[in-house]
Each structure stands twice: as structure tokens, then as C-alpha cells.
């Protein structure tokens, strides 16, 4: 038995959906452990495209148990909408295959409004959030005033909890000249939707312990990427949760000894959505080419992604921070048309060479990438399933990446299709 954590090793959008789908076919249980409905995973199965936001990727597979852990913030209306959407495509979602942690915190309408108010007021200092209320919901969680799934069981308790959280939010809203938020309508809306949420509610920590005793294979599915981690990312241009692999334990209710293997999903180049430092960003024709060939638009927001060369310094750093055991390299085929390919191997900070990303945002914005250049292969790698069939220059690039980051590449993705993968090492079979 092996339990695997899948995390993005860059700024998200690394192609986790395809890899998680492949792994979920082998797993018994798939668990989301952080984030909200701001992170999208796109799966293509038998010609059908599924765009998931909150639901774990295992939901589209029969005889799998999918779980939303306590580390996730849940918009209950968005969740019900997503369940109905996925059911309309013939996918089963019921109490036999889907569980929500009773301790998960809820995203409410005033969280979404606060997200928008702050972003609009920030001007040039905006973070680039998805405006879905994820950040404000996490703030209320840490502030101990949040509404949790379990609070929906009692009208009296819900009334008291809403009173507490709205004292805080309405004080801020009044200070910003915004209309105060009325409690009664929200309470009634929550009570109306409560049965649809509560029927899936269980103590997830207890279920995980049960699954471990039954020797079930558990797949912990991360959202976003390590460089968006609130502690280890490019702060303040980060998400509001910990995206590193160790959060799988905290965000579900199990010990770190429950994790046997950490798989880092890594794009063969680099992308970023929203604001913030991006040392290898390309604002030229090559950047446009990468975006076009890679179809670099957000699954949830449709926002255009910023594109750049592969940053080996960053990935090497996230591997160490998150304890990554193996790398799934994605979108190699996007590089097929390039005459030459570059990889960042060092930074220049005010004339000094450094081999790590500095913590201060001012330094992150100043650093200049130092590149190593590789000859392109100018041949299609689309659909290749054996590493020996790759063009020689493509193999040279892959091996150079592996050597520089110091971690084994366990698979290489050569198209969005699940079967178009060069499998070197299966984490579930090690």
C-alpha cells in the first residue's frame, strides 16, 4: 500500500488534472486537502471533458471515494452547482462515493464581495485573486469566526455564528462606505441548502484512519502550486493556504507518516496567472507561441497565463521545500517548434550570482535569470509513449532538467490525452 501526494512544483496550472486522473484510476480514495473553487483541474476521458473546481478528480471514476478535507474552503452553492453539472454528464455523486469534512469552512457571499472590494481598491498593488472569496474565508478561519459545515446542523447555532462573523465584516464594510450585510436572508439561504451539504458530511480524519486500516490506496490531490504557498511562495502574491505536500496531513487529519511518496507536477516551461514576480517571463513572440501552443488559459477564470522559460532554480527549491520524490514533466510537446530552448540555472541580483529565490519581493522583482541554452528538436513529440522515441535533442533537454533539479523524472506528458505519457516510474508500484 502506498499513499501519494500530488503537488504542483511551480505557480499552478502544471497539468495536474491529467496526472491525478491517471493515478486516481489506481487509487481507492482521492482527497482534496487545501484551496477552494479557484483551482481548476481539466480531465479528458473517452473524449469527454470534465472541468472540476472543488470536486476531487477521482469523482469521475467508478468505485472511488472522493473527499473534500478540512483544509479546503467550500462555497456551498458552487459545490452543489458543480455536483449537478458533473451528474449531467453521467457521473455518480452520492453518499457512497463522496464525503465532505464536517470541519471544512464555508465561503459565503460576503467573502466574495470582500475579495472584489479589496482587489478593486488595491489598484496597482492588486494580488490578482480569482475574486471567489477564498482569501477572506481563510482569514475568518484563522480569526476563529468562520462558519463550518457542522454549523449548518442547528439554526440556533448558525444564527449565533453568523452574528459573530457579521459584526467583523459589517464594521469593515461600513468603514469602506459599503452597505452592511443582512443576516436573516443569508441564514435562510444556508438553511435551505444545508440538507444537500450535510448529507455528505463526515469526520474525515476518522474515515482516513479506517481506510488506512483497510489498506486502501489514498491519493492526496493538491491545488495551485508550491510557489503560491502562503509561507513558501512569492509572498504577498500567493494564495491563502499552504500548498506544500505536508499540508496533505494537516488538511485532512492524518499524520505525516501517512504520506509515502510526493509527486511534483512540473511543466517543461513556466507559466503564471495573476500578478507577482516571474523571473523567466517572456513578453515576446516566444512567450506568445508558448501560450498559444500550450492553450494557456485558466480552467476556472479563462485568464491568459503569463509564459516563460523553465526555471530550474525555482523547481529545485520547491522540490526541497515540499519533499518531492519524483517529477511528472508535462507539456514537452509545446516546445516542439522552437529553434532553441533555455533553462534558468542561476540568478543575478545586483551583480551577485545566487542559486535560490530570495524571500523579499523587491529582490524577486529585481533578479535577472541566467540561462543555459539547448538546441531545439524541431520535430513533433506529440503522442510519444516511449522515451527512446523522443528526438535526441528532446532527450538531452529532459536529462538536463533532471540532472539540474536533482530529482528523478518519473513520467513525461506529450499531449493532453491521458495515454500520451512516457511512464518511467509508477509511484504506486515503487
- Kindly state the cell numbers that stand for 374: 539547448
Catalytic site residues?
Answer: 13, 41
Amino acid at each position: 500500500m502506498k499513499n501519494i501526494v500530488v503537488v504542483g512544483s511551480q505557480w499552478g496550472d502544471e497539468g495536474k488534472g491529467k496526472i491525478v486522473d491517471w493515478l486516481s484510476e489506481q487509487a481507492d480514495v482521492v482527497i482534496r486537502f487545501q484551496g477552494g473553487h479557484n483551482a481548476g483541474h481539466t480531465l479528458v476521458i473517452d473524449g469527454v471533458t470534465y472541468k472540476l473546481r472543488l470536486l476531487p478528480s477521482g469523482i469521475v471514476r467508478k468505485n472511488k471515494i472522493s473527499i473534500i478535507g478540512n483544509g479546503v474552503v467550500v462555497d456551498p452553492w458552487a459545490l452543489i452547482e458543480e455536483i449537478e453539472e458533473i451528474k449531467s454528464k453521467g457521473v455518480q455523486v452520492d453518499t457512497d462515493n463522496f464525503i465532505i469534512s464536517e470541519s471544512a469552512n464555508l465561503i459565503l457571499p460576503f467573502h466574495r464581495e470582500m475579495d472584489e472590494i479589496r482587489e478593486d481598491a488595491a489598484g496597482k498593488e492588486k494580488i490578482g485573486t480569482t475574486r471567489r472569496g477564498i482569501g477572506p474565508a481563510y482569514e475568518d478561519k484563522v480569526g476563529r469566526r468562520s462558519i463550518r459545515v457542522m454549523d449548518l446542523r442547528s439554526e440556533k447555532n448558525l444564527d449565533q455564528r453568523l452574528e459573530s462573523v457579521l459584526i467583523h465584516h459589517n464594521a469593515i464594510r461600513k468603514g469602506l462606505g459599503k452597505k452592511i450585510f443582512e443576516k436573516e436572508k443569508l441564514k435562510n439561504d444556508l438553511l435551505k441548502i444545508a440538507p444537500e451539504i450535510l448529507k455528505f458530511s463526515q469526520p474525515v480524519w476518522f474515515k482516513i484512519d479506517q481506510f488506512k486500516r483497510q489498506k486502501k490506496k489514498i491519493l492526496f490531490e493538491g491545488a495551485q502550486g508550491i510557489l503560491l504557498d502562503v509561507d513558501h511562495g512569492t509572498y504577498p502574491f500567493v494564495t491563502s493556504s499552504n500548498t506544500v505536500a505536508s499540508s496533505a496531513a494537516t488538511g485532512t487529519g492524518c499524520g505525516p507518516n501517512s504520506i509515502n511518496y510526493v509527486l511534483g507536477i512540473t511543466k517543461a516551461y513556466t507559466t503564471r496567472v495573476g500578478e507577482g514576480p516571474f523571473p523567466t517571463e517572456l513578453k515576446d513572440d516566444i512567450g506568445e507561441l508558448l501560450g498559444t501552443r500550450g492553450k494557456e488559459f485558466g480552467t476556472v477564470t479563462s485568464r491568459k497565463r503569463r509564459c516563460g522559460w523553465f526555471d530550474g532554480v525555482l523547481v529545485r527549491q520547491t522540490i526541497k521545500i515540499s519533499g518531492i520524490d519524483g517529477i511528472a514533466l508535462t507539456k514537452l510537446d509545446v516546445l516542439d517548434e522552437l529553434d532553441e530552448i533555455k533553462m534558468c540555472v542561476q540568478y543575478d541580483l545586483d551583480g551577485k550570482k545566487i542559486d535560490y529565490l530570495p524571500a523579499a519581493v523587491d529582490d524577486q522583482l529585481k533578479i535577472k535569470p541566467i540561462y543555459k541554452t539547448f538546441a531545439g528538436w524541431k520535430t513533433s513529440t506529440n503522442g510519444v509513449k516511449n522515451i527512446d522515441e523522443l528526438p535526441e535533442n528532446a532527450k538531452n533537454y529532459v536529462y538536463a532538467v533532471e540532472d539540474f533539479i536533482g530529482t528523478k523524472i518519473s513520467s513525461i506528458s506529450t499531449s493532453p490525452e491521458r495515454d500520451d505519457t512516457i511512464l518511467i516510474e509508477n509511484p504506486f508500484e515503487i
